[in-house]
Amino acid sequence: MTDPLQHLTPDEVEQWATGLLGATRAIHLAQCADCLAAAERERKFFRELAQLARLAPSADFADKVMAKVRIPTPSGGLEKR
């Protein structure tokens, strides 16, 4: 079990930002200005990330890329000895 006086780990800060932090660690967060500030930054990051436009490649993206790939032919034959 984590010491309630110990600062939150980066994983715990992320858990708080996504609403998954356990009650025991949330008590520390309520009492520690440093951890609360870090958690608020993380929550802000998640909000901003959620607002970004979702991009997806076109259906023919792979075909277009592969059409530009040039595979060199071997410069010498392998001879049996």
Q: Could you tell me the CA-to-CA distances from 66 to 42, 57, 70 in Å, in that order?
A: 39, 14, 8
Q: Domain containing 64: what range?
A: 10-68
| Residue (of 41, 38, 36, 2) closest to 22 by Cα position | 2
Q: What is the pLDDT of residue 4?
A: 60
Task: Tokens for 9, please give them.
Answer: 């780990």
Give the residue carrying structure tokens 């530009």: 68
Each residue's pLDDT tens digit, 28-68: 888 899 988 988 898 899 899 999 998 888 999 999 999 99
Q: Give the Cα separation of 16 and 39 in Å (integer).
A: 7
Q: How many domains does the chain have?
A: 1
Would residue 43 count as lying in a domain?
yes
What average pLDDT does the segment 14-19 reach? 84
Q: Evaluate whether residue 76 is within a structural domain.
A: no
- Tell me whether residue 38 is in a domain: yes
Which residues 6+ apart lie within 8 Å of 19 measured at CB? Answer: none
